[in-house]
Amino acid sequence: MNPGKASGPAVRIENLDKHYGTFHALRKVNLSVGRGERIVVCGPSGSGKSTVIRCINRLEQHDGGRITVLGTELNDDVANIDGIRREVGMVFQHFNLFPHMTVLENCMIAPMIVRKLPRTEAETTARRYLEKVRIPEQAMKFPGQLSGGQQQRVAIARALCMQPQIMLFDEPTSALDPEMISEVLDVMVTLASDGMTMICVTHEMGFARRVADRVVFMDGGEIVEEAPPEEFFTSCRNDRTRQFLSQILGH
Amino acid sequence: MEMVVVAPPAPGKVEDLKRRFFATPLQALLSLMSLAIMAFVVWKLLDWAVFSAVFTTSGGPEACQAAAGACWSVIAARWRIILFGLYPFEEQWRSALACVAVVVMTVLSCIPAFWTGRRIALVWGAGTALYYVLMKGGVLGLSYVGEEAWGGLALTLFIFVTTCLIGFPLAVCLALLRRSELPWISRTTALIIDGVRSLPLISILFTFAIVLPFALPQWLVGDKLYRVILGSALFFSAYQAEIVRGGMQGVPAGQEEAAMALGMSYWQRISRILLPQAMRNALPATINQFVISFKETSLVVIVGFFEILASGNAAYGTGEWRFAYVEVYAFIAFIYFIFVFSLSRYGAFLERRMSVGER
Ligand SMILES: Nc1ncnc2c1ncn2[C@@H]1O[C@H](COP(=O)(O)OP(=O)(O)OP(=O)(O)O)[C@@H](O)[C@H]1O
Ligand SMILES: [Mg+2]
């Protein structure tokens, strides 16, 4: 398998079904994400947003339908899963930095042990991306010594150090204090302008307007609406979407 | 001209003492009485242990027994039995060197610079091999000494260190198996752990030393010493496995998810992300378990080994020194204290070191 060389969309999700026990979390979700495309996923709590993007790198196992990432179908083949995870970076709501390693080590470990990069090369890459997320001076600190916004930027740098082709964001700013949100969003905007394929679960509608190619609205485990941002915000067809938008934009 | 500035006693301290211990007349009285009792006890102890004690063997046991204080002569006369047990007298330098080898090996493997797979394997391999060759002999012109003649401190250290060397990795394996996603693996492991934990150590030692040889084919039996070490390692690992598991439960699920999302394999996640954090959480309980195991080595006496405590019994039990058992036990207690205290201090050092970056 050689993810990335094949042509076609970056991610194709067909008729995705997912149960947690008896709870039907995803119902026949269909989504196709082209290379270089930026998708924003939004929807009320519990609608299945996290579940969808966690299925893309197999943090959750789906039980119906097909997921194809960079031309490789996700199934029980461990080699496929590992190959896809190398090419798909993920940023979590709660950062999930490794607290026992310095910022620099956080960024170097996966390239070194997964991509087998030599130490010096891994360090150069790590410093370059720390520069890019604008915290080169924090390299020798431990995550616990940084603010939330700084930690999330380190988490983005850590994912980028693997040189992924696709980046997944699961509510990257919802655990942050308001004054730190913009520093993280700025980094994400830069990333988008570099042409990265991005799937972002977020309620930052300003961000969606600015960078998204498409906004996807989910409710009750289904994709209810899917449209380019200007159309999505001005003329959405669905009642649930309208209600949701009025709630988060309303005041 | 130089000025010598004598710092006045920190006013805060005196005030603090007054406030804590002499606030009311009753409190002052109680404080003074406790102070007097403590002074009395310390004086009596010092008098017994130092001022009225006999340190030389010149007068023999009789003069020693007549003295008012401690009779340390018994140690001077019998230390070799205490430290080396029944090991042949002329060969006891080998036993001493073997002790040094084990201690050096332990100290080296406590130093962070040695914590790479190859170095730690080298240290442990060389240490145990050196111990074994020195103690057993039969090669390099060293005369042969069978395991049944090993004893004293040399035996205690060997049993403790090998118990930990075998028991610790086993504990980590058990802890990992216990959190397996396959129910039949995790249940079986839980059953084994709980089974071993529900048995007293003595019964396990007894089973491994006495009963196992009847059940095993002859070529698998091995020397009693190694069977006893295996038994005690099994016992150690059952407790330690639960400690490690507790440490793992303290690591948030997000850590493994982040490692998975970066493409790390199962063993990379375990060794680089999960275990370092779990061990940090489990450190205080782990040091505790080590201390307990060190002291529990004395139980091997029931299957016929003369570790340090049993050697101590032999040291005063032979007639002329019979009256001096307190001194012998005080000496052994002191040796235990040195090892256990170093172990706890090392634990404290590790905790400080690992807390870097935690907040
Ligand atoms: N591990 C799990 N076990 C059982 N149910 C789960 C699990 N994870 C999620 N669910 C359920 O699946 C549904 C979808 O969860 P998901 O986390 O995808 O929602 P979400 O849209 O990301 O919500 P939020 O905005 O709160 O993050 C929820 O109802 C949730 O309770
Ligand atoms: Mg979510």
pLDDT of B215-263, one tens digit each? 877 777 778 888 899 999 999 999 999 999 999 999 999 999 999 999 9
Cα B20 to Cα A241, B24, B31, B35, B277: the distances in Å are 68, 10, 10, 14, 41
Interchain CB distance below 8 Å, B261 and A158: no
Distance CA A110, CA A121 (A): 12
User: Tell me, what's the pLDDT at B216?
Assistant: 78
pLDDT tens by residue, A219-229: 999 999 999 99
Judged by average pLDDT, the poorest of A232-246, B238-252, B312-326 is B312-326
Mean pLDDT of A174-190: 92
Residue A25 per-residue DSSP state: E
- How many residues are recorded in chain B? 359
Residue B271 per-residue DSSP state: I
**Position B6 confidence tier, pLDDT thresholds 50, 70, 90:** low
pLDDT tens by residue, A87-104: 999 999 999 999 999 999
Q: Which of B156, B135, B154, B153 is closest to B144 using CA atoms?
A: B135
Q: Which two tokens stand for residue B162?
A: 């090998």
Tell me the range of A166-175, B138-147, B149-158, B310-319 where mean pLDDT is highest: A166-175
In total, the C-beta contacts within 8 angstroms joining chain A to chain B are 72
Look over chain A and give the mean of its residue pLDDT values, rounded to a whole number. 91
Signed CA dihedral, B39, B40, B43, B48: sign only: negative
**Position B11 confidence tier, pLDDT thresholds 50, 70, 90:** low
Interchain CB distance below 8 Å, B273 and A59: no
Q: CB-side exposure of A21: number of CA atoms within 13 Å? A: 1
N-terminal to C-terminal alpha carbon distance within chain B? 50
Tell me the range of A57-71, B5-19, B305-319 where mean pLDDT is highest: A57-71
User: Tell me, what's the pLDDT at B239?
Assistant: 94
**Position A4 confidence tier, pLDDT thresholds 50, 70, 90:** very low
| Chain B residue set in contact with A, beta carbons under 8 Å | 252, 254-255, 257-265, 268, 272-273, 276-277, 280, 354, 356-359
Work out which ligand 1 atom sits closest to the CA atom of A48.
18
Element of type H or E holding A79? helix A78-87
User: Tell me, what's the pLDDT at B153?
Assistant: 85
**Position B10 confidence tier, pLDDT thresholds 50, 70, 90:** low
Interchain CB distance below 8 Å, A97 and B258: yes
Judged by average pLDDT, the poorest of A158-162, B62-66, B160-164 is B62-66
Please tell me if residue A3 touches chain B, with a CB cutoff of 8 Å.
no
Q: Where are the alpha helices (DSSP H) in B116-265?
A: 117-136, 152-178, 183-197, 201-206, 212-215, 218-221, 224-249, 253-261
What percent of chain B stands above pLDDT 90? 27
- Helices B152-178 & B183-197 angle (0-180, nearest 10): 150
Tell me the range of A40-54, B153-167, B341-355 where mean pLDDT is highest: A40-54
Q: Which of A212, A240, A242 is closest to A227 using CA atoms?
A: A212
Longest Cα–Cα distance of chain A, Å, equals 55
Probe residue for ligand 1, chosen from A17, A40, A51, A62 as the CB with the greatest number of ligand atoms within 8 Å: A51
Residue A238 per-residue DSSP state: -
What percent of chain B stands above pLDDT 70? 95
With CA atoms as reference, the chain A residue closest to B272 would be A109
Report yes or no: A41 and A200 within 8 Å, Cβ to Cβ: yes
User: Tell me, what's the pLDDT at A251?
Assistant: 53
Q: Is A47 in the pocket of ligand 1 (CB under 6 A)?
A: yes
Look over chain B and give the mean of its residue pLDDT values, rounded to a whole number. 85
Cα B83 to Cα A57, B86, B209, B229: the distances in Å are 61, 10, 23, 20
User: Tell me, what's the pLDDT at B7?
Assistant: 56
Asked whether residue B137 carries a pLDDT value surpassing 90, the answer given is no
**Position A110 confidence tier, pLDDT thresholds 50, 70, 90:** very high
Of A85, A114, A142, the CB nearest to B356: A142
User: Tell me, what's the pLDDT at B69?
Assistant: 76
Asked whether residue A6 carries a pLDDT value surpassing 70, the answer given is no
Interchain CB distance below 8 Å, A144 and B359: yes
User: Tell me, what's the pLDDT at B49?
Assistant: 82
Q: Could you tell me whether strands A38-42 and A214-219 are parallel, antiparallel, or unpaired per DSSP bridges?
A: parallel
Q: Which two tokens stand for residue B140?
A: 């390099």
Distance CA B172, CA B104 (A): 25
Report yes or no: B340 and B157 within 8 Å, Cβ to Cβ: no
DSSP E strand stretches across A21-127 = 23-33, 38-42, 64-69, 72-73, 88-91
Asked whether residue A13 carries a pLDDT value surpassing 80, the answer given is yes
Work out which ligand 1 atom sits closest to the CA atom of A23.
5
Q: Which two tokens stand for residue B264?
A: 């790390």
Asked whether residue A169 carries a pLDDT value surpassing 90, the answer given is yes
Mean pLDDT of A194-218: 93
How far is Cα of residue A84 from the mean position of the Cα atoms in its chain?
Answer: 14
Other C-beta atoms lying within 10 Å of the C-beta of residue A219: 20
Q: Is A46 in the pocket of ligand 1 (CB under 6 A)?
A: yes
What percent of chain A stands above pLDDT 90? 81
- Helices A103-113 & A119-132 angle (0-180, nearest 10): 130
Asked whether residue B4 carries a pLDDT value surpassing 60, the answer given is no
Torsion angle, alpha carbons of A169, A171, A173, A177, to 10: -160
Judged by average pLDDT, the poorest of A196-200, B207-211, B354-358 is B354-358
User: Tell me, what's the pLDDT at A139?
Assistant: 92
Q: Which residue has the higher pLDDT, B108 or A128?
A: A128
Q: Can you name the residues that pair with A16 across neighbouring β-strands?
A: A29
Q: Which domains does chain B have, with CATH numbers?
A: 68-235+284-350 (1.10.3720)
Of B252, B262, B359, the CB nearest to A110: B262
Instruction: Scan for tokens 């001194």, then name that residue.
Output: B327
